[in-house]
């Protein structure tokens, strides 16, 4: 039986003691948002996901979905659970009150909501996450008539949304897409083309599906500079007649809009999450944003989805850890190498074995470190909209840096942790009965979604660290160096502060090396990108663990805080040292791989 306890206490610690999230949110305009309301939200959402979503997770994996004659039918239990979430208002916590949302800060939806939902049922959680992304792009960049017509139903979850980028011949290289959008006299466009790997592109969970589609208009520039973003619904008003935006006056959506599904992929995991081939046949659409600015708008949604994907890594890693630990507490095999611990039993509990503890503690400590960085990232997402230009600049700079790291590092660790937790459980971990093998199969896509982790690493090294003349990195170095200096003379912090200081200095040196050598030979930069991204991720986790240890030292003697100190110690002694090896690989450069004879591979 799979179990899950949402880490509410951990988030309360992070939001209220480490990050000061409530005062920040109130200063940003969420005046009625307090710690009590946040705890109530977390408890309510945790109860919903564990009682409604979790019990059908394995069912969805086993039963999957049914694709027949261009339609996808979801398990009835999924439809019922989704409807219950709509009725409880859980699909729209961060949407605006005027559209029926709760209007809470972004950090709750993008971080805590995402982790709890993903852990309980990743296949289910993807649908509302995408819909909120479409809602945000529409409300920020769409014409008011479009907002008036689509926003409320997207916010509530009555309608769902997708983003349609990839084509059969164009994945990462979106500049070569062939989907076309022909302008019409009434201001609409006729969109035609095929998109692949579209999550929830077709299903029967909602009454309508609203697609954000990248396409090119006649005469558009080559490459990504000629791409425009269009909103294309599956259904139009019942009595649709050409009339532009003004014609969107009917409440009933019944006229099919030439949007069809020609296939659903058979996948390793996420069996209850449709992955579709979508065809647009002169489908009516509306431009969102300006002509040829589609990539920047779609990247706004994609970057938010990259954070959401990173949270999938944490969510699946956490539930895998919890179930592996529960199993380990009951499992007896062998004897403690220092002598038997339970002479009245035929064997000792496997937690006496150092290697079992190593695996479980790596999972626990990486999960909690990633959660802390995620909470900080979520708060920065709110600060990006600050009316204080300095605060907004600071937040935007850090989000630029953090997004590829959150996506890549969290999902790398999520996959590693799910695999490790299977290993803890031995043969039982490989069996479907215990659930952990499903978590591994489900989380594996997270390293590929929203741009592979190799692409994230290239984005970090090739763009984000040099962006704005290096301002992004300078904005990060200020709080890091200030924290190190503030804690330099505190004896209890020495075991955390010294390695953090060394790691930050190493990050600075490696960054300068990549930039200098990369200018002469881009292969040098690209060869070290993935290792640099992981190095950077470890530095950020080290900073978060040092911050958590600093807070916990004020409450020594309380088991929760003592565990935080012990976890910080484990991180710096057992996980952080991998940065030494990563630095060596970065410095080795590109020659060992690029000069390797292709014929001998």
Instruction: Output the pLDDT for position 467.
Output: 86
pLDDT tens for residues 375-392?
999 999 999 999 999 999
Q: What are the residue numbers of the active site? A: 450
Helices 522-552/559-570 angle, 10° precision:
150
Judge contact between 363 and 321, C-beta under 8 A.
Answer: yes
The CATH number given to 161-293 is 2.40.110.20
Q: Max CA-CA distance within the chain?
A: 86
Helix (H, G, I), strand (E, B) or coil at 3: coil
What pLDDT shows up at residue 384? 96
Distance from CA of residue 372 to its chain's centroid?
Answer: 14
Distance of CA 325 to the CA centre of its chain: 24
pLDDT at 175 over 80: no
Average pLDDT, whole number, for the chain?
94
CATH number for the domain running over 8-140: 1.10.540.10
As a dihedral over the C-alpha atoms of residue 396, residue 401, residue 402, residue 408, rounded to 10 degrees, the angle is 140
Give the whole-angstrom CA distance, residue 15 versus residue 108.
10
Give the C-alpha separation, 140 to 108, whole Å: 20
Comparing 23 with 467, the larger pLDDT belongs to 23
How does residue 189 score in pLDDT terms, banded at 50, 70 and 90?
A: very high
pLDDT bin (cut points 50, 70, 90) of residue 23 is: very high
Q: What is the pLDDT of residues 393-428, one digit of tens each?
A: 999 999 999 999 999 999 999 999 999 999 999 999
Q: Residue 3 burial (CB < 10 Å; 0-12/13-18/19+)?
A: exposed
Cα(418)–Cα(319) distance, rounded to whole angstroms? 9
| Residue 64 Cα to chain centre, angstroms | 23
Please state, in angstroms and rounded to a whole number, the distance separating the CA atoms of residues 21 and 31: 12
579-593 pLDDT, tens digit per residue, is 999 999 999 999 999
* CB neighbours of residue 240 within 10 Å: 17
Pair 418, 434: CB distance under 8 Å: no
Cα(9)–Cα(566) distance, integer angstroms: 17
Q: Domain extents for the chain?
A: 8-140, 161-293, 452-601
* 244 pLDDT more than 80: no
CA distance 64 to 266: 10
Alpha-carbon separation of residue 555 from 12, 172, 561, 562, 578 (angstroms): 15, 49, 6, 8, 30
pLDDT at 237: 78
Identify the helix (H) or strand (E) that includes residue 471: helix 467-486
Model confidence, pTM: 0.96
Task: Give the closest residue to 579 by CA, choosing from 518, 500, 483.
Answer: 500
Around Cβ 525, how many Cβ atoms within 10 Å? 24
Does 242 have pLDDT greater than 70? no
| 171 pLDDT above the threshold of 80 | no
> What is residue 174's predicted lDDT score, i.e. its pLDDT?
72
């Amino acid at each position: 039986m799979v179990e899950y306890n949402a880490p509410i206490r951990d988030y309360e610690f992070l939001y209220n003691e480490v990050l000061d999230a409530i005062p920040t949110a109130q200063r940003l305009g969420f005046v009625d948002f307090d710690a009590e309301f946040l705890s109530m939200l977390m408890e309510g959402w945790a109860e919903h996901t564990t009682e409604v979503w979790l019990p059908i997770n394995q069912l969805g994996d086993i039963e999957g979905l049914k694709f027949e004659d261009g339609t996808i039918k979801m398990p009835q239990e999924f439809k019922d659970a989704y409807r219950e979430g709509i009725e409880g208002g859980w699909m729209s916590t961060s949407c605006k009150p005027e559209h029926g949302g709760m209007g809470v800060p972004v950090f709750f939806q993008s971080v805590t909501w995402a982790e709890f939902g993903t852990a309980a049922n990743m296949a289910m959680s993807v649908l509302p996450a995408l819909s909120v992304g479409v809602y945000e792009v529409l409300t920020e960049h769409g014409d008011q008539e479009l907002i008036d017509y689509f926003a409320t139903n997207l916010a509530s979850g009555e309608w769902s949304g997708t983003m349609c980028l990839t084509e059969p011949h164009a994945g990462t290289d979106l500049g070569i897409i062939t989907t076309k959008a022909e302008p019409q006299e009434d201001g609409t466009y006729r969109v035609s083309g095929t998109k692949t790997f579209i999550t929830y592109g077709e299903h029967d969970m909602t009454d309508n599906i609203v697609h954000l589609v990248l396409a090119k208009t006649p005469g558009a520039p080559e490459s990504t500079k000629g791409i425009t973003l269009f909103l294309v619904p599956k259904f139009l008003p019942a009595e649709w007649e050409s009339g532009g935006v003004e014609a969107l006056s009917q409440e009933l959506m019944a006229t099919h809009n030439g949007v069809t599904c020609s296939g659903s992929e058979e996948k390793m995991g996420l069996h209850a999450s449709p992955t579709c081939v979508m065809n647009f046949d002169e489908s009516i659409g509306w431009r969102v944003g300006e002509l040829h600015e589609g990539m920047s708008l779609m990247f706004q949604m994609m970057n938010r989805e990259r954070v959401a994907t990173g949270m999938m890594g944490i969510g699946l890693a956490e539930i895998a850890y919890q179930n592996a630990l529960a199993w380990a507490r009951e499992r007896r095999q062998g004897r403690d190498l220092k002598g038997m611990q339970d002479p009245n039993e035929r064997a000792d509990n496997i937690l006496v074995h150092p290697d079992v503890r190593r695996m479980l503690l790596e999972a626990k400590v990486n999960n909690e470190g990633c959660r802390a960085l995620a909470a900080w990232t979520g708060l920065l997402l709110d600060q990006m909209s600050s009316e204080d230009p300095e605060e907004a600049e600071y937040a935007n700079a850090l989000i630029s840096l953090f997004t590829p790291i959150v996506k890549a590092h969290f999902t790398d660790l999520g996959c590693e942790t799910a695999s490790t937790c299977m290993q803890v459980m031995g043969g039982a971990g490989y069996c479907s009965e215990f659930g952990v093998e499903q978590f591994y199969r489900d989380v594996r896509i997270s390293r590929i979604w929203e741009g592979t982790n190799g692409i994230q690493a290239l984005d970090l090294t090739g763009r984000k660290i040099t962006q704005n003349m290096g301002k992004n990195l300078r904005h990060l170095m200020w709080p890091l160096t200030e924290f190190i200096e503030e804690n330099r003379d505190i004896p209890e912090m020495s075991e955390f502060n010294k390695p953090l200081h060394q790691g930050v200095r190493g990050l600075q040196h490696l960054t300068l090396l990549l930039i200098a050598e990369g200018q002469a030979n881009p292969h040098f930069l690209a060869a070290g990108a993935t290792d640099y991204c992981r190095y950077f991720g470890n530095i950020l986790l080290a900073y978060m663990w040092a911050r958590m240890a600093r807070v916990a030292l004020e409450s020594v003697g309380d088991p929760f805080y003592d565990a935080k100190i012990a976890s910080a110690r484990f991180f710096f002694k057992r996980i952080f040292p991998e940065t030494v090896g990563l630095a060596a690989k970065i410095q080795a450069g590109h020659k060992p791989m690029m000069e390797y004879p292709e014929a001998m591979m």
